[in-house]
Amino acid sequence: MLKRRLQNFDQKTLIRYLQAEDELQQELFQLARQAKEKVFGKQIWLRGIIEFSNICQNNCFYCGIRKGNQKQKRFQMNTKEILDCLKFIDKANYGSVVYQSGEATTDYFKDYLLNIVGITHKKYPQLGITISCGEQDFDFLKQLKQAGADRYLLRIETANPKLYAKLHPKEMSWQKRFRCLKNLQKLNYQVGTGVMVGLPGQTMEDLINDLKFFVDNKFDMFGIGPYVIHKDTPLGRDPKIQKWWQKNKEKNFNIFLNFLAILRVLLPNVNIAAATACDVFNPLGRIKVLRIAGNVIMPSVTPKDYRDKYLLYENKPNIDEGADKSFTDIVNKIKQAGLEPIFGEQGNSPFYYKRIYG
Ligand code: SF4
């Protein structure tokens, strides 16, 4: 039985299904869909995402807003702009907000973030609040939780520390990132992580270890994306990687979909978000994910003027539209796919409740 073989981490089966196409792939998708619908039915939870700052102190080799990208104009939204976004989120009846930015650990940034989380929690207590602002220390994470944050998303990017070291400068440490994820669990956050699928140098064995890492470490939610090249980065400037990426991008996207389907079979009651980067490969990329394995989508609420300044990767979709259009488009697409967008609910991870309360 396929489900049992995947759950037992049978290496041959995993490699076969990670690379599956056509009928074999449909068999896997069907299994994932059944696992998902047993827990979530057709429901898709919505979170309005505000990408409030592209200032980052790090230099990840794949990321367009890395500190070393001098071409990138920087911004940080002011409180009034954040309040306008929140008004929209309230009007649209999204059940949760996601605050995302580059990583900063200055006192100025910490005060700013604590302030906006505090305001959000006070003005809109019904909203779930997710933070995705990189590695932060234990005390600050505790303060954020006390101010009203519910969830934190920190991608590990790869469970292989050696591959991580090839993608990041030496000041960045896989172990430190992992410790931060563990601190988030200690603080009872709903903890999300994820990897990039289709990275240069990544093997099938790496992807299997990523899946095992997710299961072993009991994460509640996942934000997993396909790797997309950005020309103003060390990886994107390498002609060999450019050529490799162009040649393999469709194949890698296919592996990415299979990876998510296997994850859903392994962890039926976690939250899995459909990453915006999926739409680089196909205008209905995110919807594809929602039909197979995903149960969460994060329509952008970032003001139009800032969208083209928050490009972690190239060809990011929907950068010339405002929050209204992002809302209408995504809701229509969800409905057209026979799924049900859910309004006004936080959409917490059932896995989290089980992990915390048994
Ligand atoms: S991936 Fe995150 S931490 Fe790394 S450079 Fe980009 S925004 Fe900064």
User: What's the pLDDT tens digit per position in 268-324?
Assistant: 999 999 999 999 999 999 999 999 999 999 999 999 999 999 999 988 888 989 999
Ramachandran area for residue 225 (φ above 0: left; ψ -120 to 50: alpha; else beta): beta
Which domain does 304 fall in, by range? 2-353
For 63-97, what is each residue's pLDDT tens digit? 999 999 999 999 999 999 999 999 999 999 999 99
Residue 43 lies in a domain: yes
Which atom of ligand 1 is found nearest the CA of 66?
5
For 255-269, what is each residue's pLDDT tens digit? 999 999 999 999 999
Give the residues across from 223 on adjacent strands: 273
Residue 84 lies in a domain: yes
Output the six-digit token pair for 185. 């669990």
Output the six-digit token pair for 102. 């580059």
Residue 275 lies in a domain: yes
**Contact yes or no for 206/214 (Cβ under 8 A):** no
Is residue 225 in contact with ligand 1, taking CB distance under 6 Å?
A: no
**Contact yes or no for 289/274 (Cβ under 8 A):** yes
Residue 358 lies in a domain: no
Closest CA to 293 of 342, 259, 326: 259
State in Å: Cα 116 to ligand 1 middle. 21
Q: What is the percent of the chain where pLDDT is above 70?
A: 100
State in Å: Cα 284 to ligand 1 middle. 26
Is residue 299 in contact with ligand 1, taking CB distance under 6 Å?
A: no
State in Å: Cα 263 to ligand 1 middle. 25
- The DSSP letter of residue 72 is P
For 129-144, what is each residue's pLDDT tens digit? 999 999 999 999 999 9
Q: What would you report as the CA-atom Rg of the chain, rounded to the nearest whole angstrom?
A: 19
Residue 110 lies in a domain: yes
> If you take atom 6 of ligand 1, which residue's CA is the nearest one?
63
The total number of structural domains in the chain stands at 1
Closest CA to 317 of 272, 273, 275: 275
> If you take atom 5 of ligand 1, which residue's CA is the nearest one?
66
CA distance 350 to 352: 5
Residue 339 lies in a domain: yes
State in Å: Cα 341 to ligand 1 middle. 30
CATH of the domain at 260: 3.20.20.70
Q: How far is CA 115 from CA 15, 60, 143, in A?
A: 47, 28, 11
